[in-house]
Structure 1
Amino acid sequence: MSEELISRDSKQQQPTHLGHELEKWLALADIQVGGDRPWDIRLKTPRVLEQAMSRGNLGLGEAYLDGDWEVDRLDEFFYRLLLARLDEKVVHSGLFWQLVRCRFMNLQTLQRAWQVGEAHYDLGNEFYAAMLDSRLTYTCGYWQEADSLEAAQEAKLDMICRKLGLEPGMKLLDIGCGWGSFMSYAAEHYGVEATGVTVSREQAAWAAERYQQLPLKFLLQDYRQVEGQYDRIVSIGMFEHVGRKNMQTFMEVARSCLKPEGLMLLHTIGKNKRANTPDPWLDKYIFPNGDLPSIGQIGDAADGNFVVEDLHNFGADYDKTLLAWDINFTRAWPEIAPKLKLDERFYRMWRYYLLSCAGAFRARRVQVWQWVLSPQGVPGGYQRLQG
């Protein structure tokens, strides 16, 4: 080997000031560079350090997609990183521009609302069928007494039915109905008639075909186009796409469609701080224009529209749900990858999404809330029906 190559190789191995800085931050989360524990990070190129320090999770995530670093347990890596709040200690310019976008732009206009359907939910019904439960329920399961994904999702669906006090013959509106998992369960077990709206063509077509025998209607439309009067309204895992500038409008539309004596259940992921901005990596690669609400933002939107009857947090259960999805996804990958023409980069992207989110829920940095709302207050008071 020439002296020039030896010199260049030795320079690459020398730890940089940036490398020392990153190692110092990671040590606060008990993460080692080059360690042998499942959550320790192994770097394949020194540019990962610069990407992480200058661009936060967007840089770190893109470096992972490029194969520039590895870790045996992504969920444990992110759990420790987020528990130590390292994302708040490393400030980069990208966060400023993300804040400006969210604060001054409406990223969830009627025209833009369809983007998430096309980019995420229209990946294909076969793809999601390989990852989810038999009803294709793409929201957090309820694991209190469940020992499987199927049982956890059914427990969640039934809990919502009981919280809403569903009875035969009621008319139900599902805003953001997905593949119709809740509507079908409610119709089969509680005898309701249901109308669901979604911005995903794949979801609407699949659900309409599968549930032809049930009194269900699936509409391809935005929530702002909803009309009619309903005894009950439910929205499960859709409010994350509404955006802070449209939350009031969402509540006003729901209120106008709900009978005076009705109930609405809002199930949503939520953030701990009002001022937090959407994660730039998730915004770019997974959920375009997503915007998690805070307790205060939902309260502001409900103000003047609804009485808050009940608020239930079971965010820790999303950790188990995401891990179950990851197991299904990795198990199905050898079969679905060639059939759906998905490459290794997609595999890394999808697992980064599932497992980084699992770590975030484990660290309790994000929550899952179910709000029960009434137009004018339940006479005598509302009794939670979750047992």
Structure 2
Amino acid sequence: MILRMILQQALRDGSLTLIDHAGRRRVFGGAPFAETGTGPAPDPVTIRISDPTFGRRFLAGPELAVGEAYMDGTLTIEEGTLYDMLALMVANMHRHSRGATFFRLHWFVNWGLRWLHQHNPVGRAHKNVAHHYDLSEALYRLFLDDDMQYSCAYWPPGVTDLEVAQLAKKRHIAAKLRLSPGLRVLDIGCGWGGLALHLAREHGVRVVGVTLSQEQLRVARQRAAEAGLEDLVEFRLQDYRQVPETFDRIVSVGMFEHVGVNHYVEFFRKTRALLNPDGVFLLHTIGRAEAPGGTNAWLRKYIFPGGYTPALSELTEAVEHADWILTDLEVLRLHYAETLRHWRDRFQAQRDHVINDLYDARFYRMWEFYLAGCEAVFRFDRQVVFQAQLARSLGALPVTRDYITDDERAAEDVARRADGDWAPAPMREVG
């Protein structure tokens, strides 16, 4: 009864039919799903829940209950898709449910405990990173682009291919770094090395990449050797807090989400100390276009322990405390939703391989839930990507941002000439 009342209040737009363990069928919603311009409306969904304890588990923690039921196979989709179900839930939560007492209570508990959840000293940070990034390289190769970019791609008008969009992201970041040959660059959270190798190869800079993942380190070093770039790129298993030298440029893509709000000022003070006085720092991070909150309980438990996406107010407050100058800020809206759609399609196409050769059916459902849920959040909630450009000096960069577009076009022109199919770069937007 209580679960039905909660769902009636929360689910108003679109249609969700729930069949419980006793075979009772109830329909929630019914109002037309208002178009938002962020993606197609989810189709009507029918789900069956075979676990008689689901209602109690939902009351104890709705995020965990839904995610774990899908992982365990006690929540199955009979009409529509998993993405439709999650998009319907996320959109309705954003529009209607946050004022409900039940959901606000869970939100306040989650928010109140975030300082504990995001306590990430060096040892714990290493363990949290290993939980996600030390999974098999073969898993990530199933759905990432050829360069293994595991962060939001950049989708200029007309781009529909994931590989092209990830290359556009690297060029966009490189342009904001204002690179020239011989500069020393620190890549904090370098992943499998793709960005560091791109910067060294395309711009002649010397890059130190640091990661806390043994698996990523192995792959990155192997890729550097295969590319013949070992003289320009060095990869280390090292926490950024333990880096001793200074650099002309710093870049960090998709790592700040793992820092933890407790450590923001520490992060920005350390990065400022690592940067030469006339240097530039480009931070690329998921963020929330709303007030501070907490991390989804299911995501925190199963995918990103210690993770949190900052509100802009939290980011800029820490920047100010560390005495940085914010020289440019770009908000990428829907770029990650499109990236996740491509990842989800590629991952689902490899379902049998994941289940039979790499992991098992429960693991597959866990990652399917992760990718679909994150796409829904980036389409229908307030998740975005911030690209914050920081400097220690007012004169470190040109006073207008035209150089960003100019440098991107120059990189595209060089690539066209190298491919033997040169043509002037088309006019396109920044952002």
Match of 2:332 among 284, 302, 314: 314
Distance in 2, Cα, partners of 1:26 & 1:33: 14
Secondary structure at the counterpart of residue 17 of structure 2: coil
Distance in 2, Cα, partners of 1:326 & 1:354: 6
Offset of residue 43 of structure 1? 2.0
Offset of residue 253 of structure 1? 1.0
Alignment of 1:28 onto 2:40: no
Query: What residue number does 1:323 align with?
Result: 341
Distance in 1, Cα, partners of 2:17 & 2:58: 13
- Contact kept, 8 Å, 2:292 with 2:310, in 1: the verdict is no
Query: What residue number does 2:218 align with?
Result: 205
Unpaired runs of at least 5, structure 2 = 19-26, 31-41, 406-429
TM-score if structure 2 supplies the norm length? Answer: 0.81
Secondary structure at the counterpart of residue 281 of structure 1: helix
- Contact kept, 8 Å, 1:81 with 1:87, in 2: the verdict is no
Query: What residue number does 1:299 align with?
Result: 316
Q: 1:325 to 1:135 in 2, by over 3 A?
A: same
Alignment of 1:378 onto 2:395: yes
Q: 1:66 to 1:106 in 2, by over 3 A?
A: closer
Distance in 1, Cα, partners of 2:278 & 2:336: 32
Offset of residue 211 of structure 1? 0.9
Q: 1:19 to 1:113 in 2, by over 3 A?
A: closer
Alignment of 1:129 onto 2:145: no
Offset of residue 92 of structure 1? 7.2
Secondary structure at the counterpart of residue 139 of structure 1: coil
Distance in 2, Cα, partners of 1:336 & 1:233: 36
Match of 2:49 among 44, 47, 72: 44
Distance in 2, Cα, partners of 1:181 & 1:298: 26
Query: What residue number does 1:359 align with?
Result: 376
Distance in 1, Cα, partners of 2:15 & 2:121: 41
When structure 1 is superposed on structure 2, of 42-51 and 57-66 the one drifting more is 42-51
- Contact kept, 8 Å, 1:127 with 1:336, in 2: the verdict is yes
Offset of residue 100 of structure 1? 3.5
Q: Quick one: which amino acid aligns to residue 343 of structure 2? A: W
Query: What residue number does 2:35 align with?
Result: none
Q: 1:183 to 1:352 in 2, by over 3 A?
A: same
Query: What residue number does 1:5 align with?
Result: none
Offset of residue 273 of structure 1? 3.6
Offset of residue 334 of structure 1? 2.0
Match of 2:172 among 154, 159, 164: 159
Secondary structure at the counterpart of residue 195 of structure 1: strand
Percent identical residues = 32
Query: What residue number does 2:202 align with?
Result: 189
Distance in 2, Cα, partners of 1:281 & 1:235: 26
Query: What residue number does 2:103 align with?
Result: 91
- Contact kept, 8 Å, 1:308 with 1:373, in 2: the verdict is yes
Alignment of 1:69 onto 2:86: no
Distance in 1, Cα, partners of 2:161 & 2:212: 29
Offset of residue 112 of structure 1? 0.5
- Contact kept, 8 Å, 1:251 with 1:302, in 2: the verdict is yes
Offset of residue 105 of structure 1? 6.4
Offset of residue 382 of structure 1? 4.7
- Contact kept, 8 Å, 1:77 with 1:359, in 2: the verdict is no
- Contact kept, 8 Å, 1:260 with 1:375, in 2: the verdict is yes
Distance in 2, Cα, partners of 1:186 & 1:245: 31
Q: Quick one: which amino acid aligns to residue 64 of structure 1? A: Y
When structure 1 is superposed on structure 2, of 81-90 and 28-37 the one drifting more is 28-37
Query: What residue number does 1:116 align with?
Result: 128
Q: 1:91 to 1:141 in 2, by over 3 A?
A: same
Q: Quick one: which amino acid aligns to residue 244 of structure 1? A: V
Distance in 2, Cα, partners of 1:227 & 1:87: 48
When structure 1 is superposed on structure 2, of 44-53 and 106-115 the one drifting more is 44-53
Distance in 2, Cα, partners of 1:143 & 1:154: 10
Q: Quick one: which amino acid aligns to residue 222 of structure 2? A: E
Offset of residue 272 of structure 1? 3.0
Q: Quick one: which amino acid aligns to residue 124 of structure 2? A: R
Secondary structure at the counterpart of residue 133 of structure 1: coil
Which 4+ stretches in 1 moved above 6 angstroms?
Answer: none
Offset of residue 216 of structure 1? 0.6
